[in-house]
Structure 1
Amino acid sequence: MAEPITIKDIANLCGVSIATVSRVVNNSPKGVGEKTVERIRKVIEEVGYRPNRLAQSMITKVTHTIGLVIPDVRNPFFSELVRGVEDVCNENGYSCFLCNTDGKLDKENEYIDILRDRIVDGLLFTTQNNKESNPAFLDFHRNKTPLCFIERYVDELPETPGVFFDNEGGAALLTQFVLDKGHRNIAFISGPLSTMNARMRKSGFMSTMQSNGVEVDARLVVEGNYRLDSGYAAVDQLLEHGKPKFTALIAGNDLMALGAYQALVERGYQVPSDISIAGFDNITYPAVFRPLITTIEIPGYKLGSCGTEMLIALMKGQPLAVTRQVFAAALRDKGSVVQI
């Protein structure tokens, strides 16, 4: 097997120094003549030389790699977010190192340590544990690596740049829509209250009920985990006293709403004639569910792409026009909430 071509070989073939070739390879040919640059690039193409990016990164401390930490890659919302991140990375010559934590603090810590060892140039972070101390993450932040939050932030770092959704406003909009349909006994399945966005959605629901003079039955407010099975299980908890005491159910995301939908249908209830259902995210799911679920649309792709653009600007030392971008809520009425 032939030995791989090295930067020294390129220098010898071109009759220049290794430092000159290095400047051309790293796209910083300042002080190198135009003809010399052209000759070096031509030789590189002819011999098929590929620079050792790992070796380069050890010298330059630049890897052109971004770390992305998310809690659940199976959730269609995060799939859209990841696509937004990836597209902007590709457009700007970056690679994305994807880390799925399953919403577990120990996995967050493990991935943060891995990303730090790989010397990523920046980090996009969607945590599932912002109420708990995350020592690895805080240590990563102290190293001055550029950081941008997407949709959720860490409580200890409220001034860190990020892109977010108006979760409280979205929950208020959705709750008001259900109330305007005549419903007063409304069940609510929150996401995990360890996360900022789940707490804000619950707050939007509670405050809107109270501002409309509607007393919230504490037995109708349960906590889920943003996954399909928790929406299904929540129905058992809500029905544990027999006949449902609610005419509508609002879930903190569409996956839990779909799980609740399935559980209600299996127990003989019709949606929406018996119980109306609404959710969050506006994800894509099989059309076997009819009607589709009325929902608050959260622009996952836009959050991912805008967050990545913000992070790249930070990594390049460019000033940010805004450090915290918040996307407004939009309601998508799909017929799963009826007038009573």
Structure 2
Amino acid sequence: MTSTESHQANDGTKVKLSDIAKQTGYSLATVSKALNGKGDISETARQAIDKALKESGYVRRVSPTRRQRTIEVVFKDFETIWALEVLRGIIREAKPHDINVMVAESGDRQHPDPSWIEGIIERQPIGAILVFSNLTDRERGMFQSYNIPFVVFDPSGNPALDDLSVQADNWMGGVIATRHLLELGHKRIGIITGPDEMLCSRARLDGFSAALAERGIPSSPELIAEGDFTTPGGYEGAKALLEDERNRPTAIFAGSDLQAMGVYEAARQLKIRIPEDLSVIGFDDIQTAAYMGPALTTVRQPLQDMASTAARMIIDTTEGRTIQKRVILSTSLVVRDSTQRLARAKDQ
């Protein structure tokens, strides 16, 4: 790259990278690395150069012929049925548009790591769907600079105002799960949450507490166990809630169906019958929920519909249509065999 290389700004003027270098005090090579999303420069340098580029009115433009007819999807990991349900929904929407779907693992619950961000920019998909993601300002800026739209699926925190996002009504899901148990006569109800830093987990817990408050029942800290939405997490949470035989809950709200599977195993080991001795309700309604023994009562989170919506948001953005930036889909109760009316009439 020569010092005379220039690019078009929004107002039609030429932006010389040599001028950006002089303005920021960094070398032309460093400016070039920042411009192209390379990782071997300091965050301070990147922020300064990005700021100067933005103030100059420069927007990175990518030729439409370079765009790959691909939507990239990044998961923390791809080891669960939950992730498969999400992927099926994305493929369902993408296939009629002849769009391929590519999957990556970030290995981080909060957001994709920098190497993944740089990889997606190099591959130039039409968009990205980020599952459980909370982007840093730098990561968000890199997507925006390269005009790659992204959708945050089931965001772990409050998405930025300009971010596209899709999620379920987790608070109402927590309410209807708890109301169901209350209507069956349960008052001593335990809950196994997801990670505390995740928005969906906090919303389900808040819904749980709100439903108890409707009946004048305080939320008891000893009946709350923090999980991680996995089966082992559900097992550990259930063991903690059920180990004291005299103070066991009569029902458990597991924050995910995978955690409910862990509750089943803990109950089996402790010789606790479901639902005769313990009612259990999950959250998600993944495919296997109906085939557990007994079939799991759960809150249906429309995962495939949520995923299809996320893919459609990418497609609509690419094709220039106006879209709703923040979509929240309804949850609903699915009653099966793992919950029943409390048989014994005594104080809980």
Q: Please tell me the TM-score bracket, short chain as reference.
A: 0.7 to 0.9
Partner of 1:62: 67
Give the drift of 1:290.
Answer: 2.2
Gaps of 5+ in 1: 1-56
Q: 2:117 corresponds to which letter in structure 1? A: I
User: For residues 271 and 244 of structure 1, do their structure 2 counterparts lie closer, same or farther at Cα, with a shift above 3 Å needed?
Assistant: farther
Residue 325 of structure 2 is aligned with which of 323, 326, 331? 323
User: For residues 209 and 269 of structure 1, do their structure 2 counterparts lie closer, same or farther at Cα, with a shift above 3 Å needed?
Assistant: same
Instruction: State the alpha-carbon separation in 1 of the partners of residues 95 and 327 from structure 2.
Output: 22
User: For residues 153 and 140 of structure 1, do their structure 2 counterparts lie closer, same or farther at Cα, with a shift above 3 Å needed?
Assistant: farther
Q: How do residues 284-323 of structure 1 correspond to structure 2 at under 5 angstroms? A: 284-285=287-288, 289-320=292-323, 322-323=324-325
Matched, 1:114 2:119: yes
Residue 249 of structure 1 is aligned with which of 234, 248, 252? 252
Q: 2:128 corresponds to which letter in structure 1? A: L
Gaps of 5+ in 2: 1-61, 343-348
Residue 162 of structure 1 is aligned with which of 162, 165, 168? 165
Matched, 1:237 2:227: no
Q: Contact (CA 8 Å) 2:289, 2:295: kept in 1 or not?
A: no
Q: 1:334 corresponds to which letter in structure 2? A: R
Q: Contact (CA 8 Å) 2:242, 2:249: kept in 1 or not?
A: no
Give the drift of 1:171.
Answer: 0.9
- Residues 15-66 of structure 1, C-alpha deviation per residue, up to 9 Å, x if partnerless? xxxxxxxxxxxxxxxxxxxxxxxxxxxxxxxxxxxxxxxxxx8773311121
Give the drift of 1:70.
Answer: 2.1
Q: 2:309 corresponds to which letter in structure 1? A: C
> Helix, strand or coil: the match of 1:122?
strand
Matched, 1:185 2:188: yes
Give the drift of 1:249.
Answer: 0.2
Aligned residue pairs, count:
280
- TM-score w.r.t. the length of structure 1 is 0.76
Instruction: State the alpha-carbon separation in 2 of the partners of residues 326 and 312 from structure 1.
Output: 18
Q: Contact (CA 8 Å) 2:296, 2:337: kept in 1 or not?
A: yes
Instruction: State the alpha-carbon separation in 1 of the partners of residues 108 and 223 from structure 2.
Output: 25
User: For residues 331 and 59 of structure 1, do their structure 2 counterparts lie closer, same or farther at Cα, with a shift above 3 Å needed?
Assistant: closer
Higher CA-based Rg = 1
Partner of 1:17: none
> Helix, strand or coil: the match of 1:64?
strand
Partner of 1:213: 216
Give the drift of 1:134.
Answer: 3.4
Give the drift of 1:287.
Answer: 6.8
User: For residues 153 and 189 of structure 1, do their structure 2 counterparts lie closer, same or farther at Cα, with a shift above 3 Å needed?
Assistant: closer
Q: Contact (CA 8 Å) 2:285, 2:298: kept in 1 or not?
A: yes
> Helix, strand or coil: the match of 2:68?
coil
- Residues 280-338 of structure 1, C-alpha deviation per residue, up to 9 Å, x if partnerless? 01112287732211001111111111211111110122222x33222111111002111
Instruction: State the alpha-carbon separation in 1 of the partners of residues 110 and 66 from structure 2.
Output: 28
User: For residues 81 and 259 of structure 1, do their structure 2 counterparts lie closer, same or farther at Cα, with a shift above 3 Å needed?
Assistant: same
Q: Contact (CA 8 Å) 2:127, 2:150: kept in 1 or not?
A: yes
- Residues 97-134 of structure 1, C-alpha deviation per residue, up to 9 Å, x if partnerless? 21123444475443222212222221111125x4xx63
Q: Contact (CA 8 Å) 2:257, 2:289: kept in 1 or not?
A: no
Q: 1:328 corresponds to which letter in structure 2? A: S
Instruction: State the alpha-carbon separation in 1 of the partners of residues 126 and 293 from structure 2.
Output: 46
Matched, 1:150 2:177: no
RMSD across aligned positions (CA): 2.2
Matched, 1:335 2:337: yes
Instruction: State the alpha-carbon separation in 1 of the partners of residues 117 and 131 from structure 2.
Output: 12
Q: Contact (CA 8 Å) 2:152, 2:159: kept in 1 or not?
A: no
Q: Contact (CA 8 Å) 2:276, 2:340: kept in 1 or not?
A: yes
- TM-score w.r.t. the length of structure 2 is 0.74
Q: Contact (CA 8 Å) 1:277, 1:336: kept in 2 or not?
A: yes
User: For residues 74 and 182 of structure 1, do their structure 2 counterparts lie closer, same or farther at Cα, with a shift above 3 Å needed?
Assistant: same
